[in-house]
Amino acid sequence: MTDSTTDTDRYWHTGVSAITPESVYVRGYKLDDVIGLPFTAATFLMIKGRLPTPQETKVLDAVLTGVLDYGLEKSGTAAARYVVSCNPSIQAGLAAAALSAGDYGLATENTARFISDTYEEFKASGETDVDAFAEKVVAKAKAEKRRIPGFGHQVFKYTDPRAQILKKIALDAGLWAEPAELYEAVHRAFIKLPGREHFPINDVAVLAAITVAMGFTPEESTALAILGTLPGVVGHISEEFASRKVQRLIPPETVHYDVPRRDLRTDLAAAGWDTDV
């Protein structure tokens, strides 16, 4: 493969992998050599383009196992089981689960983007006092009535134990870096506001903070959260196949139907149609 300089005019560019007749090079390494690497290290390699350190691998393991499964109390799992109950294709089920990550669950990217942008602003500001900067961030959000993402949890009022576990793993590995520290400063400033004492940094937010601190983009942060849940989704899909139930429906006793009874011909005439549409 000759990568001539004029190549850069081509329609597509990639640095992820290249194929020769005898070999596949992923991020530059022979696939033959990479086979057998811990999958977490390979995940880091494929996304970031370089091998992780053992510490980075350990923290990425924590990220990927941080939200393994919430069972049937997660929209994506429900969606996947409904899909495969009618279309017994594991691809379709996994796709439905991935598509269910979003603003209301699993998509860490909003929080990651906030952390990432705030950190960029901090660096650009020339400010050196993290806490003073954080106070301004909170004041500005308050003035603009913008929500700061990642604070508060349905159950936990002061600390979220899962968030603490994740943070400790990142701290121990020396990977609770500046963007995460700045986010904590923002949190400290936030809970000074009256009535906000009960808003801990939640687990999803810590996942976001760690991925930003490790250098992942906000979208990659969401991708890692999705990846982490897929083994659980596979478990559920296998249960669904084993259930021998097909064509799952929403149990009618959980539905309020508000469907009147009408006559089509009458209403078509009223809408201006010839009677014999």
Number of residues engaging a second copy in binding (CB under 8 A)? 142
Stretch 93-122 residues interacting with a second copy (CB under 8 A): 94-96, 98-107, 109
Shortest distance, position 256 Cβ to a second copy, whole Å: 4
Give the nearest distance from C-beta 175 to a second copy in angstroms.
13
Q: How far, in Å, CA of 262 to CA of 175, rounded?
A: 64
- Residues from 20 through 39 that contact a second copy (CB under 8 A): 21-22, 24-39
Cα dihedral value 203, 177, 220, 10, nearest 10: 170
Q: Which residues are paired to 102 by β-bridges?
A: 105, 106
- Interaction between residue 155 and a second copy (CB under 8 A): yes
Look up residue 151 and give its DSSP letter: B
Q: Does 142 engage in binding with a second copy (CB under 8 A)?
A: no
Query: Could you say whether residue 272 binds a second copy (CB under 8 A)?
Result: yes
Q: Between 79 and 185, name the residue whose CB sits nearer to a second copy.
A: 79
| Part in contact with a second copy (CB under 8 A); list of ranges 136-144, 145-153, 158-166, 183-191 | 158-166
Report 60-89 residues binding a second copy (CB under 8 A).
60-62, 64-66, 68-79, 81-83, 85-89
Closest CB to a second copy among 131 and 267?
Answer: 267
For residue 101, give both structure tokens.
């990550």
Opening angle at CA 91, ends 240 and 18, nearest 5: 150
192-231: contacts with a second copy (CB under 8 A)? 217, 219-220, 222-223, 226-228, 230-231
**What count of residues does the chain have?**
277
Residue closer to a second copy (CB basis): 128 or 259:
259
143 binds a second copy (CB under 8 A): no
**Does the footprint of a second copy cover residue 235 (CB under 8 A)?**
yes
**Nearer Cβ to a second copy (185/233):** 233
- Tell me if 236 contacts a second copy by CB under 8 A: yes
Question: Which SS3 state, helix, strand or coil, does residue 261 take?
Answer: coil
Binds a second copy by CB under 8 A, chosen from 41, 115, 186, 209:
41
- Asked if residue 152 lies in contact with residue 195, where contact means CB atoms within 8 angstroms, the answer is no
Q: Is 181 in the site for a second copy (CB under 8 A)?
A: no
Q: Which helix (H) or strand (E) holds 207?
A: helix 203-213
255 binds a second copy (CB under 8 A): yes
**Structure tokens of 107?**
């998509």
CA distance to 16, 180, 201, per residue, from 34 (Å): 14, 31, 37
Location of structure tokens 């053992």: 54
Instruction: Give the separation between CA 153 and CA 3, rounded to whole angstroms.
Output: 51
Q: Kindly state whether residue 247 participates in binding a second copy, applying the rule CB under 8 A.
A: yes
Q: Which stretch binds a second copy (CB under 8 A): 58-66, 132-140, 145-153, 193-201?
A: 58-66
* Distance from C-alpha of 202 to C-alpha of 207, rounded to nearest angstrom: 9
| Beta carbons of 99 and 79 less than 8 angstroms apart | yes
